[in-house]
Amino acid sequence: MVKYVNAKELEELIATSELPVFCDFWANWCGPCRMLAPVFEDLSDAYDGKAVFVKIDIDEEDSEAAAIKYGITSIPNVIAFKSGKPVANSLGFKPQAVLEEFVKENL
């Protein structure tokens, strides 16, 4: 299940999670973000217990800091975090098979 977080919650999660964290930086007005949402949700279900999947709305006031910190200039942008650090990102809409490969590579 995908959890919606703000910047503070994201920082706490990536600092403490023993599992890889995949964060989808998105916005409600973004068409490709809305297309990616069900794909991201399906992968969160498929990899439950192997990774944590979260979403952060870059337009929310308390989430701008995370977008700035991680250099988000285009969305959707899924960043993989391991051991508290970003290790890879996937920019733009990706079909499920492509995003699943990204997840597998970063578990």
Q: Which residues does residue 77 pair with via DSSP β-bridges, in sequence order?
A: 25, 91
pLDDT score, position 62: 82
In this predicted structure, the answer to whether residue 39 has a pLDDT above a threshold of 90 is yes
Domain hosting 13: range is 3-105
Q: Which one of the listed residues 5, 10, 33, 75 is annotated catalytic?
A: 33
Say whether 23 is catalytic: no
Whole-number average pLDDT of the chain: 96
Q: Average pLDDT in the 65-80 region?
A: 94
Name the CA dihedral angle for 61, 63, 65, 71, rounded to a multiple of 10 degrees: -120
pLDDT score, position 16: 96
- CATH code assigned at 14: 3.40.30.10
Secondary-structure breakdown of the chain: helix, strand, coil percentages, each rounded to the nearest 5? 40, 25, 30
Domain count, the chain: 1
Q: Which one of the listed residues 7, 10, 13, 30 is annotated catalytic?
A: 30
